[in-house]
Amino acid sequence: MAGTGEDPDTDADLFGVRPYAVTDGRTQPSTPLDLMSLVRATGGGMVAPDRLGVEHAQALKLCQVPTSVAEIAAHLRRPVTVAKVLLSDLIELGAVIARFPPSTSYSNDPDVLRAVIDGLRRIV
């Protein structure tokens, strides 16, 4: 069955192109991005969208409105690391800007933790 992880040769069928080919083998983004980082197209940049690769152009199109890195990865149907590499490329080109989540940790707020636990219980 394609994309089940049982046969690595079929994962390319699910995604079209292997993830390492999309990022030219890079596994680390040049810009540190969080799952909650919001990215938005600037409307400018050094490269025209028609000169970008398919995945970069798709990511740029998704950035027309502020969108989280996690959402970009989901829409592209790519691992988060791949999305981060693509987005960091676009940031370097000046085509996208990122707004990072606040540096304060949410994990220390008891109200936030209770809300997360309550939400998880409703899912199960």
Mean pLDDT per block of 10 residues along the chain (124 residues) reads 44 53 63 86 73 83 91 88 88 88 65 78 73
Q: Is residue 22 part of a domain?
A: yes
pTM score, whole prediction? 0.64
Residue 36 included in any domain: yes
Residue in this structure with the two tokens 């799952």, named with its chain if needed = 35
Q: Is 76 helix (H, G, I), strand (E, B) or coil?
A: helix
In a domain, 115, yes or no: yes
pLDDT of the residue at 17:
61
Q: What is the pLDDT of residue 116?
A: 75
79's tokens: 């691992």
Please count the other Cβ atoms lying within 10 Å of the Cβ belonging to residue 37.
Answer: 19
Where residue 17 falls (left for φ over 0; alpha for ψ -120 to 50; beta otherwise) is: beta
* Separation between Cα atoms, residue 118 and residue 111, nearest integer Å: 10
Determine the structural domain holding residue 86 and report its residue range: 8-123
Q: Is residue 89 part of a domain?
A: yes
Q: Is residue 2 part of a domain?
A: no
Angle (CA) 103-62-65 rounded to 5° is: 65
pLDDT of residue 10: 42
Residue ranges of alpha helices (H) inside the chain are 11-15, 19-22, 54-62, 69-76, 80-92, 110-123
3-state secondary structure at position 97: strand
Give me the number of domains the chain comprises: 1
Residue 64 forms beta bridges with which residues?
none
**1 within domain boundaries:** no
